[in-house]
Every structure is written in C-alpha cells, then in structure tokens.
C-alpha cells in the first residue's frame, strides 16, 4: 500500500471519532466549523507530497502560531531575554489556566505554549505599535511557510478579541508583574491576530518543513539558527499538546503542536512534515480525530522518536 492509500484508509477509519468531540465554541466564530472534517497533508524529506480527506479546508492556526511567534521573539531579543520572562516547564494544567501565574518563580508563565506564556512572547515582537509588530510577524509567517498568501481571518479575530476576557486578564496580570514591558493591549492585539491567521493542513505541512530543515528555506537559506529550531521542537514534545503532552508522547511520539481551530503541526525529524485538520476537539482542546489519526500513522510507519 502506498502512503496516499494508507492516509485515505486512516482518514476513513478515524472520521467517525469526530462525533465524540466538540467544537471550540468559547470562540463563537469557531463554532461554525464542520465538525466531521478530517484531513492530512504530508511532505516527506525528499519533498514528495501526500494528502487525504479535508486537507484543503481553511481554518485558523490558533495556538500553533505560538511556535512561529516564539521563533521571531528569539530572533528579536535573544534566547536569554525570552526565557528570563517565560519558563520552559510543562504545567499539567489547561492551556488557558491562570492558577500557576501568581505562585510560579518570578511570576513567570511556565512555558511559551500556554496562553499566558504566548501573550508574553507576543509582547516581545519588535515594532512601534501593534500594527508594525503584527505586520512583521505576518511577514515572518509568510517567509517560513514560503506562502505569500497568508492573512488574518478577520471574523475570527473580532470574535476572539470580543470574547477574550480571560486572555486579557492574563495580559494585565503579566503587565502588573513586569513580565510584559510594553503596551499590554498591543500584545493582546498581536496575540489575537496571530491566532486568527488562516491556513490549511498543507500550510501547516509547509511550516513543518521549515522545522524539518532546522530553520532553513527550500533554497537552503538559514532563517533561524539550528539551536532555535531545536528549542521549538523540544517545546513541541514537552508542551505542544497542552496537558496531554505526556500521553501523546507515549501514544504518538512525534513532536507536535495543536490549536483549537483543529490544526496539528507535526515534525518527524529526518523523515516528514505533517499538517492535520480536525476541528472537533477532546476535553483538553486537542483535535480528537487528528490525534487518533496520528497515533495510527505513527504505529503503521514506526514514527515515534523515542
């Protein structure tokens, strides 16, 4: 069986699992997604492409954007500065949890993959105001995905911004503790916009190719040092699937980052770059059928890194 046939088979097998989850209706616009959708797009190390199911559906990148913003924040400020404001440890708490913020050492968010950490990272993007910061960030997304068409889904952005009170409260807390240096509303605007960038499973696969190539474009040009690509992939393993990262490491064993829009971006070092779309989520906020599909794929092809 070739890889396209295997992917078709696994999409058919796992699609019924979509029914067991729920859409991310805490962001009202995301409640309009097709609950039964499931798709996958793979680019292998030689550039061959394979896909199945709803790989061409559009959705918002959501938390997967945290990886890309972290890359630019490290380029802008250096690794030491970024990690003086945000930790490197998994929390074991939900992605939007506030509980450890006040008790953590130095009031630092535990890691850049939870919302509090990501909002702090968004505040570090250089620029005189939210517009300049976000324009630079969007240009960086376009550069590393080698896709000039990327843009914000403004309906989702407005929906997030109008209902993002929990994220706002974390932003203001971080400001009061000096974790956010600049304007807190600018940081939140950048964060809500980066989460609302519209992608497909193919786009996620393209971004994953950049990590597969350790921060180099298809031309060979180095955009981020290998060290930064390694940091990103390591955080994907330890924190990428929120408080399910441990179980995911055992069941799937592939560095991955999920988003509540239904995306999963996965990198199998030395082998392949994967984008998944499955908007129906489990109780931790991970794409329920997407995780099941990756688990099957990992077992079939022996992709675990461990």
**Does the active-site annotation cover 85?**
no
CB neighbour burial string for 89-117, b if at least 16 within 10 angstroms, e if fewer: ebbeeebbbbebbeeeeebbbbbbbbbbb
Contact 286, 261 (CB under 8 A): no
**Does the active-site annotation cover 266?**
no
Contact 23, 298 (CB under 8 A): no
Q: Is 50 annotated as a binding residue?
A: no
Report the nearest approach of ligand GLN to the CB of residue 105 (Å): 24
**Does the active-site annotation cover 260?**
yes
Q: Is 191 annotated as a binding residue?
A: yes
Could you say which residues in the range 150-209 bind ligand GLN, by CB under 6 A? 160, 167, 195
Report the nearest approach of ligand GLN to the CB of residue 175 (Å): 17
Q: Does 117 bind ligand GLN (CB under 6 A)?
A: no
**Does the active-site annotation cover 159?**
no
Question: Beta 39-44 vs 272-277: how paired, if at all?
Answer: antiparallel
Q: Does 87 bind ligand GLN (CB under 6 A)?
A: no
Q: Which is nearer to ligand GLN, 215 or 255 (CB)?
A: 255
Contact 106, 86 (CB under 8 A): no
Report the nearest approach of ligand GLN to the CB of residue 17 (Å): 19
Report the nearest approach of ligand GLN to the CB of residue 194 (Å): 9
Q: Is 97 annotated as a binding residue?
A: no
Q: Is 63 annotated as a binding residue?
A: yes
Distance CA 63, CA 260 (A): 7
Q: Is 167 annotated as a binding residue?
A: yes
Residue with CB nearest ligand GLN? 63
| Tokens (6 digits) for 99 | 């509980």
Q: Does 112 bind ligand GLN (CB under 6 A)?
A: no
The residue from 59, 95, 173, 210 that contacts ligand GLN (CB under 6 A) is 95
Could you say which residues in the range 285-304 bind ligand GLN, by CB under 6 A? 285
Question: Beta 39-44 vs 198-199: how paired, if at all?
Answer: unpaired
Element housing 33 (H / E)? none
Roughly what angle, to the nearest 10 degrees, separates helices 65-77 and 201-212? 40
Q: Which is nearer to ligand GLN, 285 or 290 (CB)?
A: 285
Catalytic residue among 50, 110, 242, 277: 242
CB neighbour burial string for 34-62, b if at least 16 within 10 angstroms, e if fewer: ebebbbbbbbbeeeeebbbbbbebebbbb
Q: Does 262 bind ligand GLN (CB under 6 A)?
A: no
Nearest to 284 by CA among 168, 67, 152, 113: 113
Distance CA 240, CA 230 (A): 14
Catalytic residue among 50, 157, 191, 277: 191
The residue from 63, 203, 256, 266 that contacts ligand GLN (CB under 6 A) is 63
**Does the active-site annotation cover 63?**
yes
Report the nearest approach of ligand GLN to the CB of residue 23 (Å): 12
- If DSSP codes are grouped into helix, strand and coil, which group holds residue 254? coil
Report the nearest approach of ligand GLN to the CB of residue 290 (Å): 13
Q: Which residues bind ligand GLN (CB under 6 A)?
A: 62-63, 95-96, 115, 160, 167, 195, 259-260, 285
Binding site for substrate, residues?
63, 115, 160, 167, 191, 242, 260
Catalytically active residues are 63, 66, 191, 242, 260
């Amino acid at each position: 069986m070739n890889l396209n046939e295997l992917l078709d088979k696994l999409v058919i097998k796992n699609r019924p699992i979509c029914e067991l989850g729920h859409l991310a209706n805490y962001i009202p616009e995301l409640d309009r997604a097709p609950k039964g959708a499931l798709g996958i797009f793979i680019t292998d190390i030689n550039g061959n492409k394979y896909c199945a199911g709803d790989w061409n559906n559009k959705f918002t990148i959501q938390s997967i954007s945290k990886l890309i913003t972290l890359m630019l924040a490290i380029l802008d400020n250096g690794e030491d500065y970024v990690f003086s404001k945000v930790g490197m440890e998994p929390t074991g708490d939900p992605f939007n949890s506030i509980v450890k913020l006040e008790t953590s050492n130095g009031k630092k968010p535990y890691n850049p993959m939870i919302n509090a950490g990501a909002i702090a990272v968004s505040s570090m993007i250089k620029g005189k105001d939210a517009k300049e910061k976000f324009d630079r960030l969007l240009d960086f997304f376009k550069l590393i995905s080698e896709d000039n068409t990327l843009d914000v889904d403004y309906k989702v952005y407005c929906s997030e911004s109008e209902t993002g009170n929990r994220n706002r409260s974390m932003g203001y807390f971080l400001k009061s503790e000096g974790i956010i240096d600049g304007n807190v509303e600018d940081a939140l605007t950048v964060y809500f916009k980066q989460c609302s960038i519209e992608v497909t499973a193919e786009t996620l696969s393209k971004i994953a190719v950049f990590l597969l190539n350790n921060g180099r474009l298809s031309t060979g040009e180095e955009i981020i040092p290998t060290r930064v690509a390694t940091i990103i992939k390591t955080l994907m393993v330890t924190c990428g699937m929120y408080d399910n990262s441990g179980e995911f490491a055992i069941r799937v064993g592939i560095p991955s980052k999920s988003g509540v829009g239904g995306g999963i971006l996965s990198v199998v070092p030395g082998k392949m770059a994967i984008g998944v779309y499955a908007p129906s989520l489990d109780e931790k906020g991970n794409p329920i059928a997407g995780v099941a599909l990756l688990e099957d794929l990992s077992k079939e092809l022996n992709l675990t890194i461990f």
